[in-house]
Amino acid sequence: MHDGNLEVRQRTARQGPVGRRHPGLPAQNSPHGPAPLAFARWSPPNMAIECRQIEGRPPVPVFFVCAGLLGLLAAALTVHVGLMRGRKGINLGDGDDAEMQAAVRAHGNLMEFAPITLLMIYMASDFYGFRTVAALSVLLLAARVLHAGGMLGLIPKGRLVGTVASCIILGVASILLAIAGVGLKQY
């Protein structure tokens, strides 16, 4: 379309509004008419922006660093179990080998505890702020490292301390979310 000296490019209905992807349903100004349902106008959020800043709050870098380090710990424990399986010739299970049992449980226990606890800590960040999230994240990382080190025989009493600390952190995060859920803690 040409309007005087100003040239304006028309976008087709299939392309949707400028800057947004077409969600798979006809746009409002489509030759087929308006979208049949309200959700047809929905567009996915820009997660790159929303992860950096939620409601004007600063990002939670300590949480992300701890979550990343826990992911690396999980990868290291996975590799450790795999190498041990190859060295001992145990393809499935633990082969009634105490060292193999400890390695498998160190990995398995991390995978049982870390995801749910990290999720709860992250959810608590909306209600309790940076310091609470940072403290719980750092303590969880320390507890899981202690537990893994204790299970593998590298840190004396690490298994006990790591287990108790992990349970306490999971309990605290759960209680904080329950308090926020019943409305006792406002934003």
Residue 74, pLDDT score: 94
Residue 113, pLDDT score: 92
Domains of the chain, earliest start first:
1-44 (no CATH), 60-181 (1.20.120.550)
Q: 21 to each of 14, 15, 18, 31, 46, how far by Cα in Å? A: 9, 7, 8, 18, 11
**CB atoms near residue 169 (< 10 Å):** 23
Residue 34, pLDDT score: 55
pLDDT 10s digit of each residue in the chain, 187 long? 455 554 445 545 555 455 555 455 445 555 555 555 544 454 555 444 444 444 555 556 889 999 999 999 999 999 999 888 888 888 887 778 888 888 989 999 999 999 999 999 998 888 888 888 999 999 999 999 999 999 998 999 999 999 999 999 999 999 999 998 887 765 5
pTM of the model: 0.65
Q: Phi and psi at residue 137, in whole multiples of 5°?
A: -65, -45
**What are the residues facing 7 on neighbouring strands?**
2
Burial of 155 (0-12, 13-18, 19+ CB in 10 A): middle
